Structure 1
Amino acid sequence: MTGREILHKMKVKAGFGSSSSDTGKGKSKLSGTHITHGFHLVKGKSNHAMEDYVVAKFKKVHDSELGLFAIFDGHLGHDVADYLQSHLFENILHEPAFWTETENAIRKAYQETDSKILEKAVDLGRGGSTAVTAILINGEKLVVANVGDSRAVICKKGVAKQLSIDHEPSKERQSIEKKGGFVSKFPGDVSRVDGRLAVARAFGDRSLKMHLSSDPDVVVEMIEPDTECLILASDGLWKVMSNQEAVDSIRDIKDAQSAAMHLTEEALSRKSKDDISCIVVSFH
């Protein structure tokens, strides 16, 4: 086994994932809770290497347990997404205000991480990545942040609720044009920043950064007794499934890993050609 293969296996075991097909699971150690998670990734039909990365793990920090979940969807190479997998949560948790002003700390960490990525452009390349992150604090408080079009959806009483915002160029045209950029859309295509990138916010993308934002939208959601599950997934899933369809398709699947696998397989059956990565957190 090569050193690269050993490192890959260590990442999967630690709750990180990316390859042609990765899968994993875990559970909370909080007494009195039955919170579990599972993830599954499948490479799309493109010729380039897999560009999605996942973080899914529970971590004890001081006297608290944090559930750390994230989807990083790279473009024009996977190096930025890989960097985010290794550094974004670390940067968030190192913010002095994380425990007192969590939302502001996450916003600051997102922006500072993007600055570090731009500084390392020689090593990380010209590509970028979207991100959706979810931090579950003691099984009670969920803080979701995102830039780009990966998505977080929560299910309560069988009803899907989108917690993240899809940062589509057409929706942020005014902001992009104020920065000197433009939004174009050719027949049969999606709207793009400067005719190139299909999201209005992202990490990296040094050549477009003057016209892009890395400011995340942040939302807090309390976990109630009627909360059933949380789904995080890249746009490879959401291009072919609605929020409610995704929730409906896994409500009867008790195992979170099986649920994540089912969603990726369903997306493939619906002819999704993009990389597909999915995390399911079950609160049953």
Structure 2
Amino acid sequence: MDEGVTHGFNLVEGKVDHSMEDFIVAEKREHDGIELGLYAIFDGHSGCKVAEYLQHHLFDNILSELDFWTSPECAIRRAYKKTDDEILEGVVSSRGDSTAVTAILINREKLIVANVGDSRAIMCENGKAKQVTVDHEPQKERELVESRGGFVSQRPGNVPRVDGQLAMTRAFGDEKVKDHITSEPDIFVKNINEGTEFILLASDGLWKVMSNQETADRVRR
């Protein structure tokens, strides 16, 4: 990345007949005299209230943690839990749920990415796409679900689901299966170097139809 860091976003509704439930953050902000880039995708399911709440509150909760600068990973974990607790306590209707993938760029040098669910971040370096995040899918985290008293099942022609309902093992909201899933994120820290071309965040609607490399190649055109 050169010194001029730019960002952009695009929201496209699919052909399924329901309203757009994705929300984004893409902004630059100064915090304690340090330049931050704040970027996120929140993919809502069964309603948009949870994703919309995350758009307005998750980054503020992260940056309000007193040890954000000294222990950013711990601060992010606490902020994710705090925000989920706020949702479950009824700040918004928690009938629905949402994924989250957040990226914080610090002084154009350090990138901290966190995610819950199947929204994904990739990094393109020297033309090669590298997946940064982990997709939290039931078949991959069956042990986590079962350790919390839940189960993973799969009907013919469908994807594996937690308790026969949710196709993710980590999400915000969704109080009906909350005991068997978690909002604890996986966190990844990356240094930005001369070979770093861009970071891309997207919900699963993109990744179901395009590979990481295909997506990177399209962006680079």
TM-score (norm 1): 0.76
* Aligned structure 1 segments of 4 or more residues deviating by more than 6 angstroms: none
Q: What's the counterpart of residue 14 of structure 2? A: 44
What are the superposed Cα offsets for residues 77-103 of structure 1, whole Å, 9 maximum, x if unpaired?
000000000000000000001011111
The 3-state SS of whatever aligns with 2:217 is helix
Q: What's the counterpart of residue 166 of structure 1? A: 135
What are the superposed Cα offsets for residues 121-158 of structure 1, whole Å, 9 maximum, x if unpaired?
6x424001000000000000000000000000001111
Are 1:244 and 2:213 counterparts? yes
What is the rounded CA distance, in whole Å, between the counterparts of 2:189 and 2:151 in structure 1?
32
Q: Counterpart of 2:30 in structure 1: which amino acid? A: K
Are 1:65 and 2:35 counterparts? yes
Q: What's the counterpart of residue 79 of structure 2? A: 109
Q: Counterpart of 1:63 in structure 2: which amino acid? A: G
Return the offset for 1:49. Answer: 1.7
Q: Which has the higher helix share?
A: 1
Instruction: Decide which of 212, 225, 243 is 2:181's aligned counterpart.
Output: 212
Query: 1:26-45 counterparts in 2 under 5 A?
Result: 33-45=3-15
The 3-state SS of whatever aligns with 2:10 is strand
Q: What's the counterpart of residue 25 of structure 2? A: 55
Contact kept in structure 1, 2:58 and 2:79, CA below 8 Å: yes
What is the rounded CA distance, in whole Å, between the counterparts of 1:76 and 1:45 in structure 2?
17
Identity %: 60
The 3-state SS of whatever aligns with 1:155 is strand
Q: What's the counterpart of residue 76 of structure 1? A: 46
What is the rounded CA distance, in whole Å, between the counterparts of 1:141 and 1:124 in structure 2?
35
Task: Name the count of aligned residue pairs.
Answer: 221
The 3-state SS of whatever aligns with 2:214 is helix
Return the offset for 1:71. Answer: 0.1
Q: Counterpart of 2:209 in structure 1: which amino acid? A: V
Are 1:85 and 2:55 counterparts? yes
Gaps of 5+ in 1: 1-31, 253-284
Return the offset for 1:48. Answer: 2.4
What is the rounded CA distance, in whole Å, between the counterparts of 1:200 and 1:167 in structure 2?
6
Return the offset for 1:45. Answer: 2.2
Instruction: Decide which of 185, 195, 202 is 1:226's aligned counterpart.
Output: 195
Gaps of 5+ in 2: none
What is the rounded CA distance, in whole Å, between the counterparts of 1:242 and 1:185 in structure 2?
24
